[in-house]
């Protein structure tokens, strides 16, 4: 159904109103979506999905890619593909989960193509896990220094850098679970893996991150 000019203008007004508080809305407004209309190819209904989900989906993609411009173009491509493939949506998951799966796949493919040098491989993540001998830590963890942890802007920079380093599969899981707080089951559907695999990889990713942060925050035995 091609919308009339009046419908189009009404939609533009809605768009202007919504984009202001879009971050807050994106988490709560899922009941506003008219899924049947979206599936029928209705343009204003689909644009409502764009208005509602763009901010949160952008946040996920930009953290995976670490590049604003690239993230914007992947976001646009995601909605384009979603629109063109809407007939393949089977209602086995939430529409937003299906949408995020498309976006995350596109972002990961871009990341793999560019082969960022800073990114760790899966084996490196394994090497960052704590080692145990007869059930005990091989290297006893050292406490972190409250003074070093207090500098908020410095801390954010360090943590972002560490997340950026993670291998793509681990990075996506950390972003979806710990940053955006999607449930294990939703993340599993978005990534097309089992909930068990999400749990295992999330734990490894967190431990790898902790290990990457450790040199920045641990108390020095004797500082000169």
Partner 1 sequence: MKIVTLIKTMLGLAPNCEKVNQFLGDYMDGSLPENLRTQFEEHIAMCKCCKPYMEQYQRTIEWTHDCRCNELPEELVEHTISFLRKNADYPQS
3-state secondary structure the chain: CCCCHHHHHHHHHHHHHHHHCHHHHHCCHHHHCCHHHHHCCCHHHHHHHHHHHHHHHHHHHHHHHCCHHHHHHHHHHHHHHHHHCHHHCCCCCCHHHHHHHHHHHHHHHHHHHHCCCCCCCHHHHHHCCCCEECCEECCCCCCECHHHHHCHHHHHHHHHHHHHHCCHHHHHHHHHHHHCCCCHHHHHHHHCCCHHHHHHHHHHHHHHHHHHHHHHHECCCCCC
Residue 95 binds partner 1 (CB under 8 A)? no
Residue 27 binds partner 1 (CB under 8 A)? no
What is the rounded CA–CA span in Å between residue 86 and residue 79?
Answer: 10
Among 29, 144, 169, 193, binds partner 1 (CB under 8 A): 144
Residue 100 binds partner 1 (CB under 8 A)? no
Among 33, 38, 62, 106, binds partner 1 (CB under 8 A): 62
Contacts to partner 1 from residues 179-198, by CB under 8 A: 179-181, 184
Stretch in the footprint of partner 1 (CB under 8 A) among 91-99, 118-126, 185-193, 201-209: 201-209
- Work out the number of other CB atoms within 10 angstroms of the CB of residue 195: 14
Q: Toward partner 1, which CB reaches closer, 123 or 153? A: 153
Among 21, 41, 192, 196, binds partner 1 (CB under 8 A): 41
Q: Toward partner 1, which CB reaches closer, 118 or 224? A: 118
Q: Toward partner 1, which CB reaches closer, 105 or 144? A: 144
CB of 118 to partner 1, least distance (A): 16
173, two tokens: 């899981």
State the residues that interact with partner 1 by CB under 8 A: 1-2, 15, 18-19, 22-23, 40-41, 43, 46-47, 50-51, 54-55, 58-59, 62-63, 68, 72, 75-76, 79-80, 83-84, 130, 132, 134-137, 140-144, 149, 155-156, 159-160, 163, 174, 178-181, 184, 199, 202-203, 206-207, 209-210, 213-214, 217
């Amino acid at each position: 159904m091609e919308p009339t000019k009046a419908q189009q203008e009404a939609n533009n007004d809605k768009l202007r109103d919504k984009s202001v508080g879009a971050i807050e809305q994106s988490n709560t407004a899922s009941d506003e979506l008219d899924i049947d209309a979206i599936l029928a190819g209705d343009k204003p209904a689909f644009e409502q999905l764009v208005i509602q989900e763009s901010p949160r989906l952008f946040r996920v993609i930009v953290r995976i890619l670490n590049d604003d411009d690239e993230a914007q173009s992947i976001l646009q491509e995601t909605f384009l593909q979603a629109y063109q493939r809407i007939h393949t949506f089977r209602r086995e998951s939430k529409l937003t989960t299906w949408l995020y799966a498309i976006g995350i796949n596109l972002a990961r493919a871009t990341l793999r193509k560019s082969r960022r040098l800073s990114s760790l491989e899966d084996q490196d993540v394994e090497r960052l896990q704590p080692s145990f001998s007869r059930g005990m830590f091989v290297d006893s963890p050292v406490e972190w220094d409250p003074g070093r942890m207090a500098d908020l802007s410095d801390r954010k920079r360090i943590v972002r850098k560490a997340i950026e380093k993670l291998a793509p599969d681990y990075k996506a899981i950390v972003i979806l679970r710990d940053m955006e707080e999607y449930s294990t089951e939703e993340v599993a559907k978005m990534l097309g893996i089992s909930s068990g695999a999400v749990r295992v990889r999330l734990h490894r990713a967190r431990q790898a991150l902790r290990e990457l942060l450790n040199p920045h925050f641990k108390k020095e035995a004797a500082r000169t």
